[in-house]
A and B are shown apart, each in its own frame.
Chain A
Amino acid sequence: MSFYPLYNSLRIAMIATVIIFFLGIMAAYYVARLPRLIKGLLDVLLTLPLVLPPTVVGYLLLLILGPKRPLGILIYELFGTKLVMTWWASILASVVVAFPLMYRTARGSFESFDETLAYAGKTLGFSNSYIFWEIRMPYCAKSIIAGVVLSFARALGEYGATSMVSGYTPDRTATISTTVYQLWRINDEYGAGIWVLINIFISAVFLLILNSIEKKR
């Protein structure tokens, strides 16, 4: 039994979570400050992947990244590689699908932040980045951690968009979720069951670790 799907799923989920962490926080921080109308419009756009079926997201990604699309052609000409049907295309799919979870939780917490703390920091001479990382982020830490957990769990369990942009190639693009489906499809219930258990185990361990961090704070 190859453990490639485990390795691949974990690296995709981890890299995607790191990207989502920074993108989600950045988007939340700037969108929370925009005028109401623009905020409302951007909010719809940035939250859409949460409510759309992942296959629709996958379809849209293929429309942008596909080998016959301008971006796909450009990347192929520049780097000699396709953007789709690779393991890292799954990172992109996971980022798009899980991003709204981080964005929404971070935005909610930024909006409840007491701005006088930032003002106090400014009048005491702190740099804006110090205020952001040492005052705003610790204040919002609980929600941000919740956003990270949700994003990681969502990225780890991503199937629809991932299977469309990366497909299923054993030892190349296979993830736990695509492997479960493929094994079940060929009537290997035992193999599928093992991967289901592995997935449940990882998710439970991850949630336990984060719960204990939460309690310590």
Chain B
Amino acid sequence: MLKVCIKKKIDNFLLDMDFEVNGNILGMIGASGSGKSLTLKCIAGIEKPDEGYIELNGKTFFDSNKNINVRPQNRKVAYLFQNYALFPQMTVKKNILVSVNKKYEGIEREKKVREVMSLLHIEELEKKYPFELSGGEQQRVALARIIVNEPDFLLLDEPFSAIDAFLKWNLAKELKNVLKHIGKEVIFVTHNINEVYYLCNDVLVLSCGKVAERSSIKELINNPKTEIAKNIVKYSDFSREELDEF
């Protein structure tokens, strides 16, 4: 279980988040600048909140009262970046190999790489460099890196924003399977309510750095309570019939 209760001020923007993730994939939706990415960065340890606490499965990552701020390296929280952040000077295989959890050594590391490449069907890409890959391929490699790292929690920051619309749903299907395979709790950030509907059970609607609404995805679509949630539902290209096919 992830507990987040933090505040962070940057210029005129105040991030004031208070929520929990308990055993599922939590969607996080909101307009640009609503604080989605900043929240993820605070959870990962890349940004330091001004006050509050962050706790995962009873382990404190951040507590301003106790002066605790665990390094991102020791949090075991995976972060899938919008641009995937593959290391450009390393081949696909090297990108995955260097990310294998440190508890594995020698031949075992190699074995883990083979397994994950087979799982994500990227064996033929092993000698390629990131700049030679399509958006979908890059996403698979970034996911492979995360799987071999064996994190305790996953943060997915708009993973489909750089993917062509016609490829997106195939990748979403794959992602759903991969997340099932990993079996960890996830925060999935997006602009797109269709993606949330497909991947998540619960959803947080963010507005101006705060949680405007939290509900199940079905409840949000059928009965949005806040103005921002109403707008998100109203202006989405949402088609329940189409999504129910999945």
Contacts and interface: CB of A to CB of B under 8 A. Distances in A.
Main secondary structure of the interface of B (DSSP, over half): loop
30 contacts: A114-B83, A116-B83, A117-B85, A117-B87, A119-B44, A119-B81, A120-B81, A120-B85, A121-B87, A122-B46, A122-B72, A122-B73, A123-B45, A123-B72, A123-B73, A123-B79, A124-B145, A124-B149, A125-B73, A125-B74, A125-B76, A125-B101, A125-B149, A126-B73, A126-B98, A127-B73, A134-B98, A135-B89, A139-B88, A141-B89
B234 interface: no
A123 to B, nearest CB: 4
Contacts of A120: 79, 81, 85, 87
B71 interface: yes
A53 interface: no
Interface of A: 114, 116-117, 119-127, 134-135, 138-139, 141
B78 interface: yes
B7 to A, nearest CB: 22
Interface string B108-131: 000000000000000000000000
A119 B72 contact: yes
Main secondary structure of the interface of A (DSSP, over half): helix
Interface string B37-67: 0000100111000000000000000000000
Nearest to A135: B87
Nearest to B41: A119
Q: Which 6 A-B pairs have the closest CB atoms?
A: A120-B85, A138-B89, A122-B72, A123-B79, A116-B85, A124-B99
Contact of A123 (B78, B83, B88): B78
Contacts of A114: 83, 85
Nearest to B100: A124
B102 interface: yes
Contacts of B45: 122-123
Given A117-B87, A120-B79, A127-B73, 17 more contacts: A119-B41, A119-B44, A119-B46, A119-B81, A119-B85, A120-B81, A120-B85, A122-B46, A123-B45, A123-B72, A123-B73, A124-B98, A125-B101, A125-B149, A126-B98, A135-B87, A139-B89
B77 interface: yes
Contacts of A134: 87, 98
Nearest to A120: B85
A115 to B, nearest CB: 9
Nearest to B82: A116
Nearest to B47: A119
Given A117-B87, A135-B87, A139-B88, A125 B81 contact: no
